[in-house]
Amino acid sequence: MNHFQLKDGVLHADEIPLPRLAEAYGTPLFVYSTATLKRHWKVLDRSLKGLKHLVCYAIKANSNLAILRTFAELGSGFDIVSGGELYRVLQAGGQAKKVVYSGVGKRDDEIAFALEAGVKVLDVESAAELARVSIVARRLGKRAPIALRVNPAVDPKTHPYIATGLKESKFGVSMEDALRLYTLAARDPALEVKGVALHIGSQITETGPFTEAIRRTLELVGALRGQGIRIGHFDVGGGLGIQYRDEAPPHPDEYGAAVKQALASFDGEVLLEPGRVLVGNAGVLVTQVLYTKRNGRRNFVVVDAAMTDLVRPAFYGAHHEIEPVVPVEDAKPVVADVVGPVCESSDFLGKKRALPPLEPGDLLCVRSAGAYGFAMSSNYNTRTRAAEVLVEGDEALLARRRETLQDLVRGESPSPRPRRFTKRAVRVESQSRAPRRRKA
């Protein structure tokens, strides 16, 4: 369900025609529907009714401050993977005590930031990271709340780039290692075991992989409790898919029922880390036709959006529905590739799409662009990043202004001042990384 619908022959975002937004804010333009965001969060939260639970939005999907504030006002927690994302949560009014800090490579300063802010838990993904968290906590005179992210070795049946629960994945620790590391953590006065976490992948379209991962992880929880190690919360991760084209993911109510049944024997708090399912279909990318052309047997529609705005088609081979903002009645469709201005053959938004004849200035709507759209955008080819607009009813909020050319060179200098490093300074730096050997 989303609130991007045809009204009087024109695509609208809530109550506002998309052409009006394009005229006011330019293109390319990301448009998000507040009504859709709120509905998706409430439906998913409702699906776990009866369990003590906390929905923690995975902000890597879309970290715009206005979206974060929308979820914070609903009572949402947040799943983060960097110190920068924690900063965003706090700037948007989110509560640190509702933050789960995931991620396989946390720096010392990020760990310290999280502990000083008072996050709910740090999900630890290796023995080396567990040691670093302990060291930083001791340095700060704090006790770090931790959970281990376990790797249940379950195939989520999704794109290999977004499958994170397999044995060959860089994420998490094996069940065997988890038992040993939990024992070490329970004995460390600088650490406080809070729970267990898992996350097997993204864009998963059936409940089986979720319930199998939960079942395997519950075996670990039972073994830990047998050793006197209490597990206060169970983080089932995220990954519930959405419909881009012909996928048929389970409804959140079906997903929630499966999770509740799988965790019937668990008496602690349940954490959930949805990302794409909350924001994916709550956003679209509006782009303007620049030219149409034909090369050989191939037709092309050249638009002002590019892989720098929406990289998923180039990166994953992902499909996004593309349609005219103002549909043309009774027009014979033309099969064409929708491509951008970037100097890469992989710069396309869609291939072999049946579209009505288009003219320069016409607007196209790229659907399902709310997740991993702007969040993965870049300045490649020295392109400015798009504006983002949040719509609620008949009102629009400019949630992020379009970048300017000046923004593109901020922090750079054509004549940088040199910095001289003395031999002693270089030697001190090298010693900080590798202790000098003592002479025998």
Residues making up the annotated binding site for substrate are: 276, 312, 316, 344, 372
Number of residues in the chain: 440
**Parallel, antiparallel or unpaired: strands 283-295 and 29-33:** antiparallel
Whether 343 is catalytic: yes
Contact status, residue 44 vs residue 58, Cβ threshold 8 Å: no
Q: Measured between alpha carbons, how far is 314 from 308 in angstroms, rounded to an integer?
A: 10
Residue 58's beta-bridge partner residues? 79
> Do 145 and 194 form a contact (C-beta atoms < 8 A)?
yes
Q: Which helix (H) or strand (E) holds 15?
A: none
Q: State the pairing for strand pair 53-58/77-80.
A: parallel
Pick from 249, 105, 217, 238: nearest CA to 153: 217
Which residue, chain included where needed, has tokens 């031999």?
Answer: 423
Pick out the residues of the known binding site for pyridoxal 5'-phosphate: 239, 273-276, 372
| Contact by Cβ (8 Å): 119, 98 | no
Structure tokens at 112: 């310290």
Catalogue the E-assigned strands of 14-131.
Answer: 16-17, 29-33, 53-58, 77-80, 99-101, 121-124
What DSSP state is assigned to residue 27?
A: S
**DSSP helix/strand/coil, 74:** coil
- Annotated binding residues: 239, 273-276, 312, 316, 344, 372
Question: How far is 212 from 204, CA to CA, in rounded Å?
Answer: 13
Distance from chain centroid for Cα 415: 37
Q: Residue 278 and residue 255: Cα distance in Å, rounded?
A: 14
> Please, which residues have CB within 8 angstroms of residue 278's CB and are 6 or more apart in sequence?
37, 40, 41, 44, 57, 61, 71
Structure tokens at 81: 């993977």
Residue in 128, 343, 405, 440 annotated catalytic: 343
Largest Cα–Cα distance of the chain, in whole Å?
89
Nearest one of 284, 303, 366, 244 to 62, comparing CA atoms: 284
Amino acid at 392: E
- At 194 the three-state DSSP class reads strand
Catalytic residues: 343
